[in-house]
Amino acid sequence: MCSWPPFKSFKKMEDYVKNSREPEPSWQKIRVHVMKSTDSYEKAVRLEEAACYTSDLNSEMEDVEELSGRKRKRPVDPDSSEDEINYLPSPPKINTYIQRSSGQITEEPQPPFHAASPKFSYMSCPSTANSASPRSVTSLGNKSDECFKRKVFRMLESIQQDVKEIKQSLKTSRGPVPTLPPSCPRFPCEHPDDLITLEGMLKDEDMFKIICDFLSSIGGNSAKDCTKRILGKLLSTSLSLQYNWKGTRGVKLGFSTFVLINKLIFGAVRNNIICSAATEVEVQEATKKWLMYAKDRDGGRNQRANLMANVIN
């Protein structure tokens, strides 16, 4: 009987086996058939792979040679003559006799040639291609597929465990969420004058870094998502309705005139680990679209739909 652990992580199971730890009493008992025992974990892994192809694990070297497709060369006795070594005859040539009668061509194979030596007959040599059973070939292929799937499953478990460890290390490496000083404008900005004040405060490098760290802690799944979240923190919906990227004379103001604010948004996006490769063009395009669709936020789309329905009625 074998005690099987309930671990989902292959690394944890491998650690128990390598360190020869005692199984827990609560583990499931499974009846197993021991094919071969070894004192090395690496040898056991190789034998497990070989067990997918054969059930005879008595000779490890023979199994490895069979799996690799290599064969041992037959030792040649130096005292034997060349005639004794080359006792196999060359394969006979099958001659065909073509008979022409009434426009038809028929081929009659000649009888095979028998070797002169009584020790060997060409007809008595069994064909290895015909002797292979289709069922055995199919079973070998199924075992190979099963072994391959098992390897892939182990690799996926290892990758999943590595991802969990990386996420955990990132959580522990992050410091506390930065706070804004009292002198900083209150977010989100409600009036164009608030943006002008913020633009002037960003000339101070220390203030720029504090606000940039604060906005980068908002996060996001992509450069576009991160930009939208930061803009939503900086600008209220009513204020974003007054801006587009370049501005429209007498209608909307230009957001591109705030050089330091746009630099702040780009720096906060790049500080995010997921968006560390984001470009300035990507952030600008996301900003343009966010300002363009400002009228759809906070129920604006539903209000326009209801207004259109009332006009039609």
CA distances in angstroms from 112 to 92, 109, 117, listed in the order given: 7, 9, 15
Tens digit of pLDDT for each residue in 170-225? 666 566 777 888 888 889 999 999 999 999 999 999 999 999 999 999 989 899 99
Residue 264 has pLDDT above 90, yes or no: yes
> In which band, very low, low, confident or very high, does the pLDDT at 155 lie, cut at 50, 70 and 90?
very high
> At residue 264, what is the residue type?
L
Instruction: Give the lowest-confidence range in 76-80, 175-179, 251-255.
Output: 76-80
Residue 83 has pLDDT above 80, yes or no: no
Q: Report CA 37 to chain centroid distance, whole Å.
A: 35
Give residue 81's pLDDT: 47
**Average pLDDT over the chain, rounded to an integer:** 76
Q: How many angstroms separate the CA atoms of 264 and 120, rounded?
A: 90
| Partners of 253 in the β-ladder | 243
> In which band, very low, low, confident or very high, does the pLDDT at 226 lie, cut at 50, 70 and 90?
very high
Residue 273 has pLDDT above 50, yes or no: yes
> In which band, very low, low, confident or very high, does the pLDDT at 114 lie, cut at 50, 70 and 90?
very low
Average pLDDT over residues 268-292: 94
> At residue 46, what is the residue type?
R
Average pLDDT over residues 156-170: 84
Residue 169 has pLDDT above 80, yes or no: no
Give residue 135's pLDDT: 57
Contact at 8 Å (CB) between 230 and 203? no
| Partners of 4 in the β-ladder | 28
Pairing, β 253-254 against β 243-244: parallel
Give residue 152's pLDDT: 92
Tens digit of pLDDT for each residue in 24-71? 888 888 887 777 777 777 888 887 777 776 666 665 445 444 544 554
The SS3 assignment for 271 reads helix
Torsion angle, CA of 164/169/174/175, rounded to 10 degrees?
130
Give residue 298's pLDDT: 79
Model's pTM, two decimal places?
Answer: 0.47
- For 226, other C-beta atoms within 10 Å of its C-beta total 26
Q: How many angstroms separate the CA atoms of 47 and 31, rounded?
A: 19
